[in-house]
Structure 1
Amino acid sequence: MITIKDIAARLNVSPSTVGRALADDPRISAATKKKVTEVANEMGYVANLAARMMRGVSSNLVGLVLPDIRNSFYSTIAHALSKCVQSAGFQLTLSETEDDRMVELQHIRELASANVAGIIIVPTAKPHRETVRLLKLSPHVQLIRRQAAIGEQFFGIDDTQALFDATNHLMSLGHHRIAYIGGTDELPTGASRLLGYQKAIDSLPRNQRPGAELVRLGSPGSVEFGHEAMNALLSQAAPPTAVVAGTVRATQGILEALMVRRIAVPDQLSVVGFGDEVGFSWWGPGLTTIGLPVHDLATACGLWFVHQIRQNAAAGAPYASIATATLIQRGSTRALASAAPRERTPVSRSKSHA
């Protein structure tokens, strides 16, 4: 294995000079750092992380802690952040919590023990107090969800305005019985999106406002929840004439339920989704949906965070960057028709023995 002494001998300098250059010590000139790095790479030198940790030197790892990598919303974030930090000489390491606060704590402990350069986190609904304590010992920033206990450096989306605009769009088409299927309001995103829906609904005359029976809240990462919630709403004596989703996975569940029940969209039900997945533009008549600037948001977060780490300023003044979502209008919404949503009569088909 190539050591610092080997590099020092090759360059005819002291091992301490090589060590300081590799640690980006300000006492070493940029030219020397460049030469040391080039020779180290040429010789195949791999830093001893354990030794660096014992010296109190941060690794080049940036931790990303998020709920569910199966959700393309978060996989897009992970991809954008990976490219961003890699271009700055860092490496992204991924941890998945499935919104379990104890799993979240376990991951934060491991990242802290590895002396990571920083942590980007999409926090759970109620982070453990030990999680909060450990995060405050490392540079960190919250992404998508903001928990006041963790800190005041945050990159997110204006969820309230996004759902207000989506609901208002349906109201402008004459819909009053508008259902909402979204994530639990225990999460800051869930609460903000529900608030946007409610603000729009509250602008209706009191006798036209839909009741609580048209609101369904559940796991933001569950397609099954969205499917079951849509089925329950359609089974009501007075079903909704329109529905707006508050999560990507709920949207997928809603679309599955509508296909299974053979609901004609938008003739029988107008639908507004959340997020703009690859298939949403060609689903049925094309899904009207809330477009989210996920890639741009993650890239901005990554660039800002890397700068903060390099400036040793990640625990500094409060900072918040709020991006705006865009309503993408396609064919799944239309002016209210007189007929309430109902299931199509299944078409009889002969069995195939092919």
Structure 2
Amino acid sequence: MGVSLKDVALRAGVSVKTVSNVVNNYPHVTTVTRARVQQAIDELGYRPNLTARHLRKGRTGILALAVPELSNPYFADLAGAVIDAAARHDYTVLLDHTAGERAKEILVCQGFRSHVIDGLILSPIELETEDLLGRTDTAPLVLLGERQYDVPYDHIAIDNVAASRTAVRHLLDLGNRRIAFLGARFESERQPAHLRLRGWREEIRAAGLVPDESLVIATDGYGRTDGAAAMAALLDRGERPDAVFAYNDLIALGAMRTLTERGLRVAQDVAVVGFDDIEEGRFGGVSLTTISPDKQAIARLAVDGLVQRLARSPSGPPAAEPRRARPGFRLVVRESTARRTP
């Protein structure tokens, strides 16, 4: 049999209630008593039954994270951060993959797994406002990503326009004037790609220049092959830029490959900035300058928001208003924008 609370109480010479208070980190326990109970826990190897604890509260102890693409390093990094944040609250995370398809995103947000999860963190791509307004599942929901929705759910997203302007300003400060944007999408003004393109336009105008729309290249996807193809299309029509701002790091890495194959030097001939700060960008032949979203803060805000709503008693005060949190970001300068030598 496993070690019980009663066993710990007997070893520490306290009541079972006191051991429970220590295990659940309740504040009203003296420092001396807490140390004695913790010593007994360590000596006996006691491990709390988290499943039983959640069941007593009518919970499963599981949160779900649904992302468009688990193979994308950004979402893999984000998933790891969410798992770490959830573990601090004794929650397990169930990962789901929507492929960015509206039907799958609707299925997830409508609670097809509501019997096994307590709350959902969703990063949507194609989901529409009406899909969320028609949601009947009562499990708390937190939205991630830059697509904008006027809905009564928490939404965690960095300021894409400001982040993009920071990237473009860096390229302008290096003396670049023909700055391409790779990875545009034109279907919706609420899409992240549109917001990053908007930042590109705003910062170029702020520098007293006219955005050259011939340097904007749309892509079918957001991977390395899309970036390579976009860069090739731009060069093939004679529109050689002196810098590139890519929608994400994967597109930037693909573009850098094409530049190298065409005999152009990254940084010296064409500076490149990406977005996401994935690990691969740090270890290429030329390390990638990028916008680094605070993934740890995104994960922490999302998980904490769910846990706070789950802790609310049905008979308690009304739920708090939905949050619109804006985690930070920073520009990480690496070799792909190294200053050119005369």
TM range (shorter): 0.7 to 0.9
Deviation of residue 191 (structure 1)? 2.2
Corresponding residue to 2:194 among 180, 186, 191: 191
SS at match of 1:176: coil
Mind listing any 5+ residue stretches in structure 1 that lack a counterpart?
3-10, 12-28, 339-354
Moved more, 241-250 or 328-337: 328-337
The 3 A distance-change label for structure 1 pair 330 and 128 is closer
Question: 1:181-220 residue pairs with structure 2 within 5 A?
Answer: 181-185=182-186, 186=188, 187-205=190-208, 208-219=209-220
Partner of 1:223: 224
The 3 A distance-change label for structure 1 pair 111 and 163 is same
Q: Is the 8 A contact 1:287 1:331 kept in 2?
A: yes
SS at match of 2:266: coil
Q: Is the 8 A contact 1:60 1:116 kept in 2?
A: yes
SS at match of 1:169: helix
SS at match of 1:142: strand
SS at match of 2:304: helix
* TM-score relative to the length of structure 2: 0.76
Partner of 1:73: 74
Aligned equivalents of 1:67, 1:43: Cα separation in 2: 34
Q: Is the 8 A contact 1:226 1:254 kept in 2?
A: yes
Partner of 2:90: 89
Partner of 1:236: 237
SS at match of 1:273: strand
Deviation of residue 151 (structure 1)? 3.0
Partner of 1:291: 292
Question: 1:1-354 residue pairs with structure 2 within 5 A?
Answer: 57-114=58-115, 116-127=117-128, 129-134=130-135, 137-185=138-186, 186=188, 187-205=190-208, 208-219=209-220, 221-311=222-312, 316-334=320-338
Q: Is the 8 A contact 1:174 1:335 kept in 2?
A: no
Aligned equivalents of 2:145, 2:304: Cα separation in 1: 16
Aligned equivalents of 2:330, 2:68: Cα separation in 1: 24
Aligned equivalents of 2:304, 2:268: Cα separation in 1: 45
Q: What do residues 237-286 of structure 1 show as CA deviations (whole Å, max 9, x unaligned)? A: 23111101122322232233233334211222111121222232343343
Q: What do residues 37-69 of structure 1 show as CA deviations (whole Å, max 9, x unaligned)? A: 99xx9899977x9xx7xx994422211111111
Q: What do residues 105-137 of structure 1 show as CA deviations (whole Å, max 9, x unaligned)? A: 223345454162111111223337455433662
Aligned equivalents of 1:87, 1:69: Cα separation in 2: 23
Aligned equivalents of 1:288, 1:43: Cα separation in 2: 45
Aligned equivalents of 1:36, 1:337: Cα separation in 2: 61
Q: Is the 8 A contact 2:50 2:90 kept in 1?
A: no
Deviation of residue 204 (structure 1)? 4.0
The 3 A distance-change label for structure 1 pair 31 and 170 is same
The 3 A distance-change label for structure 1 pair 253 and 45 is closer
SS at match of 2:324: strand
Q: Is the 8 A contact 1:97 1:104 kept in 2?
A: yes
Alignment length (residue pairs): 308
Identity of aligned residues (%): 24
The 3 A distance-change label for structure 1 pair 35 and 171 is closer
Q: What do residues 306-348 of structure 1 show as CA deviations (whole Å, max 9, x unaligned)? A: 223213589531312212221122222256799xxxxxxxxxx
Q: Is the 8 A contact 2:267 2:335 kept in 1?
A: yes
The 3 A distance-change label for structure 1 pair 202 and 36 is closer
Deviation of residue 301 (structure 1)? 2.4
SS at match of 1:323: coil
Aligned equivalents of 2:82, 2:341: Cα separation in 1: 45
Q: Is the 8 A contact 1:183 1:247 kept in 2?
A: no
Q: Is the 8 A contact 2:114 2:137 kept in 1?
A: no
Aligned equivalents of 1:336, 1:210: Cα separation in 2: 23
What is the letter of the counterpart of residue 173 of structure 1? L
Over the aligned positions, Cα root-mean-square deviation in angstroms equals: 3.8
Q: Is the 8 A contact 2:129 2:150 kept in 1?
A: no
Q: Is the 8 A contact 2:121 2:141 kept in 1?
A: yes
* TM-score relative to the length of structure 1: 0.73
Q: What do residues 185-240 of structure 1 show as CA deviations (whole Å, max 9, x unaligned)? A: 535322221111110111244xx534211112335533222111111112222311
Aligned equivalents of 1:73, 1:277: Cα separation in 2: 6
Mind listing any 5+ residue stretches in structure 2 that lack a counterpart?
7-15, 25-40
